[in-house]
Amino acid sequence: MSELRQRLSATVEADLLAAGRDAVAAGEAESLSAWVNAALRRQADHDRRMRALDAFLAEYEAEQGEITEEEMAAAARAMRARAVVVRGKRGRGVA
């Protein structure tokens, strides 16, 4: 299946344009267009996931009631308690 592509003219921040050109120069992207396409794809995927999360939370809260600040704090504490430290503590000479 052939991809449909359209030419785009856009104004971008200079540092982002430089980052794209650097990625191409480093061989991290085939072209500036490919780099921009990848960035747009990531944003579109992110937006889709956020909409799905919003829909899930709305459905959950419609069935179970609003998630309270206390429940969110308890969940955060539980996640921190199960977290695995992957780097040393600061101040022990570890960079």
Largest separation between any pair of C-alpha atoms in the chain: 56
Going from N- to C-terminal start, the domains of the chain cover 14-67
Q: How far apart are CA 17 and CA 12, in angstroms?
A: 7
User: What is the pLDDT tens value at each position of the chain, 95 positions in all?
Assistant: 557 889 999 999 999 999 999 999 999 999 999 999 999 999 999 999 999 999 999 999 999 999 999 999 999 999 999 999 898 776 555 55
Q: Could you tell me which residues come within 8 angstroms of residue 10 by beta carbon, excluding any fewer than 6 positions away?
A: none
0.75 exceeded by the pTM? no
What Å distances lie between residue 1 and 4, 5, 10, 37, CA to CA? 9, 13, 27, 18
Report whether 21 contacts 30 (CB < 8 A): no
